Amino acid sequence: MDAAVALPVEISEWKLAPFALGGETVFAIGDVHGCAAELRVLRDAIAHLAGEAQGKRRLIYLGDMINRGPDSVGVLEQWAEGEEAHGVDHVDRLMGNHEIMLLLTVVRGPHGRKAENMWLSKRMGGTEFRRQMRMRAGSPWADANHDLLWKALGEAAYHRLWGMRSHVRLGNTLFVHGGLDPHADPEEFLTRPWTIFTEARWAWINHGFLDWKAGFKGTLVVHGHTPPDKHREISGMEDPHLFEGDRLGLDGGSARTGIVTGAEIRDGRYRILKAGTAFANPISSGAE
């Protein structure tokens, strides 16, 4: 039996929350970080649940598909597949800070060297992804450039990477990788280009977002980026996957915990989906 088939998927009870999505059923997947087997079983569960849903069904990837885990190439192959393969009517692919580091490394430019050093650092885990791409491409010494991405990932994933969005708004809900700065103009904040690196704070923010208690002027925020241990440290929440403070966090820690986390969200309610087997000794995050 395929090892991925044996991985469990935990589906929580429905919880009430004031989501207003215009009747859509939205599935959102948090940080995957190279955990291809866990993503596969989570996608299978989502396809099953989507088959039971009425109205339009949408899947939103919240970013940070790559780095750290054992098979980032396999993750991107799944991530790049179309709507039919996902069992939904529409797929949105958002950009995370790990994708920003990769793409800045590829395009070079004024932030290229700093982004590459950060991407390949031990805490960010890009060295493992680069090794996987080199093996797939049969180029053991290749730089991370357009040619390596094309050969290792294939045409579909290559083009999807350059087409990622910063955010999606549906009804009263914002889907974004990092979060929202309550002190910034939302439109200006969310449209900052990824090419400005860490100043595209929609992909990097946690302090100032997770510890903010006064809401976001009627906007509900569904996000990834901050793994459970760091989320608890900043927000003070015991369960980082509860809707609280007009936020719902879906980073399960993935490569550090063994769990890839998502959610099914409908008007007025949501439930949490967790795929994988939790590590006996989770690795402390230290970085997002």
Task: Compute the distance between CA of residue 222 and CA of residue 168 in angstroms, rounded to an integer.
Answer: 10
pLDDT at 259 over 60: yes
pLDDT more than 70, % of the chain = 97
Q: Is the pLDDT score of 1 beyond 50? A: no
Cβ neighbors of 111 (< 8 A, separation 6 or more) are 104, 195, 196, 197
Nearest to 248 by CA among 93, 87, 62, 67: 62
Confidence of residue 284 (pLDDT cuts 50, 70, 90): low
Q: Give 15-40 pLDDT, tens digit per residue.
A: 999 999 999 999 999 999 999 999 99
The model's pTM: 0.96
Asked if pLDDT for residue 98 goes beyond 70, the answer is yes
At 240, the pLDDT band (50, 70, 90 cuts) reads very high
Does 5 score more than 60 pLDDT?
no
User: What pLDDT is stored for residue 280 in this prediction?
Assistant: 84
Q: Is the pLDDT higher at 282 or at 61?
A: 61
| pLDDT tens for each residue of 38-81 | 999 999 999 999 999 989 999 999 999 999 999 999 999 999 99
Q: How confident is the model at residue 112 (pLDDT cuts 50, 70, 90)?
A: very high
- Mean per-residue pLDDT over the chain, rounded: 95
**CA–centroid distance for 92 within its chain:** 11
User: Using one digit for the tens of pLDDT, what is the confidence trace for 139-190?
Assistant: 999 999 999 999 999 999 999 999 999 999 999 999 999 999 999 999 999 9
Confidence of residue 286 (pLDDT cuts 50, 70, 90): low
pLDDT digits 0-9 by tens, 261-270: 999 999 999 9
Q: What domains can you pick out in the chain, each with its CATH number?
A: 3-95+164-275 (3.60.21)
E strands, 121-197, in order:
167-170, 173-176
Distance, CA of 119 to CA of 105 (rounded, Å): 8
Q: How far apart are CA 250 and CA 187, in angstroms?
A: 23
| E runs forming strands in 119-204 | 167-170, 173-176
Q: What average pLDDT does this structure show over 208-235?
A: 97
